[in-house]
Structure 1
Amino acid sequence: MKSSFKDIIDAEVPVLVDFYADWCGPCKTLAPILEQVKETMGDAVKIVKINVDKNQRLASAYQVRGVPTMLLFKKGKQLWRQSGVLQKQAIISAIQQHG
């Protein structure tokens, strides 16, 4: 999993990683917002969802303590991080500003 995750975040386009859990209420709120972000931004961003319960080592490696936590990567570098639910425009602004 780790090497393929590295391949994913090494992309030229910004990659927004959503660390979530199935039991997390705010994560369920964030999911449709991320779908709207993807619809709006299209190929300008890649959105990846990582289940922290199934990928504990990866969540630990990025010090994810609470869910949802979003991390933005480009060419393997972490550019932005935010925990909690943000509205669509706030997420798009963060991607445009940092990506």
Structure 2
Amino acid sequence: MATFSDIIHGDQPVLVDFYADWCGPCQQMAPVLSELKGELNGQAQVIKVDVDKNQKVSQVYQIRTIPTMILFKKGKILWRHSGTATKAQLKSVIAAHQ
């Protein structure tokens, strides 16, 4: 199974959603991210990282607010956003970093 590091160091953009099950805004983002994932047609990956279960990764990327979304490509942070976002906003960010 690929590690988090393996996934974010790929050639394809990866949108990482740092979330927690108890977080209301995170729950609002879940269906948005699910729809987005279905519409990307393999152009990018969308993965979710539970900050409670993955505290080390959350510390490395200094996640202080959830939800926080970070777009990675080849291990580099291309975009970062804390709080909710619309599917259209996320699609445009991913498209800008193809």
Tell me whether the two structures share a fold, i.e. TM-score over 0.5.
yes
Q: What percent of counterpart residues are identical?
A: 51
Contact 1:80 1:98 in 2 (8 A): no
Provide runs of 4+ in structure 1 moved above 3 Å: none
Query: For this pair of structures, how many residues does the alignment match?
Result: 97
Shift, 1:42, TM fit: 1.9
Corresponding residue for residue 78 of structure 1 = 77
Identify the structure with the greater helix proportion. 1
1: CA distance between counterparts of 2:97 and 2:68? 17
Q: Deviations over 1:8-33 (max 9, x none)?
A: 10111100000000100000000100
1: CA distance between counterparts of 2:41 and 2:81? 21
CA RMSD of aligned residues (A): 1.1
What TM-score does the superposition give when structure 1 sets the normalisation length?
0.93
1: CA distance between counterparts of 2:78 and 2:28? 24
State the AA in 1 paired with 2:9: D
